[in-house]
Copies of this chain bind each other. A is one copy, B any other.
Amino acid sequence: MEKKLIGIDLGGTTIKFGILTSSGEIQQKWSVETNIMDEGSHIVPDIIASINHHLALYKMDQSQFIGIGMGTPGTVDLEAGTVVGAYNLNWKTVQNIKDEIQAGTGIKFAVDNDANVAALGERWKGAGNNSDEVVFVTLGTGVGGGVISNGELLHGQGAAGEIGHINVQPNGYLCTCGGHGCLETYTSATGVVRIARDLAEEFAGESQLKTALDNGEEISSKDVFDLAKKDDVLALKVVDEVCYYLGYACANLAAITNPEFIVIGGGVSAAGEILLSKVEENFNKFAFPTVRTSTHLKLAELGNDAGLYGAASLALQFK
């Protein structure tokens, strides 16, 4: 029987698991809550127990697996298989996860950070069409991403693919990183709302978005895009600004890496076609001519499963 992969998507609230074929078909999927108590010291034992429990359940054993791959928050040392600084997991000290999980399951283990792993997932089974040249940009609470070139993730000195911290507006909005005008401050879910509040202040016309903001209602990035789709004038202005910055950043990304696809994912990308078409407009304005025709923008296709697919694909190195 063909050997399988295990993918793990470790997040601050849940840990998702999948058993996949080596060609990337999900055959089993389950999840457990992330227990971040006691400095996150239960997380790795919980992962090991959950895998061993499910293998027993499915009457499988370690010899039937190529390996385990995992995506995690924090800063990853790929060689050592350690993670540090994953604050939403309460991991403050270096976690020796590779050795522990290999010992606890008897299966080979590889790890990378969650944004990189999602990039691998979209490349393998999603919008990236299994191309060797894919950039993934994820627009969530923050903005992250991963850059794949020559078929491999770029890591640089450990922080390559910090797409959210491409500077798109010198002296722009203050970012959590301490900089001003990072892409994340304009195109994350919170960035979209920030732009909405800013533009609302000086907006005088008729707008449902303006009314909601003036009434102190809580609005989300989704609300802004939904109103823009209904031609709310202020919401359209906000969307234009968001897409300007994202298109500008994608053009600069493409001048450097010229990927076949730039895949846009994360919560904000659920806005769909309105986002994509306006980002493309700005991309075309700023991109170098040969890059404009050879790099294509696409919406992500895997949603929350990108991490699971990508994590599993990490284990293909053990094949």
Contacts and interface: CB of A to CB of B under 8 A. Distances in A.
Interface of A: 75, 133, 147, 149-150, 152, 154-163, 165-167, 170, 177-179, 182, 248, 251-260, 286-291, 294-295
B253 A159 contact: no
Contacts of A290: 75, 158-159, 162
A167 B291 contact: no
A162 B291 contact: yes
A145 to B, nearest CB: 9
Contacts of A291: 157, 159, 162, 165
How many copies altogether?
2
Contacts of A253: 256
A120 B253 CA distance: 21
Nearest to A131: B157
Contacts of A162: 255-256, 258, 288, 290-291
B259 A156 contact: yes
Given A150-B155, A167-B255, 5 more contacts: A147-B256, A149-B160, A158-B258, A159-B294, A160-B256
Given A149-B149, A150-B152, A252-B167, A157 B258 contact: yes
Contacts of A149: 149, 154, 156, 160
B133 A156 contact: yes
Contacts of A182: 288
A167 B251 contact: yes
B294 A158 contact: yes
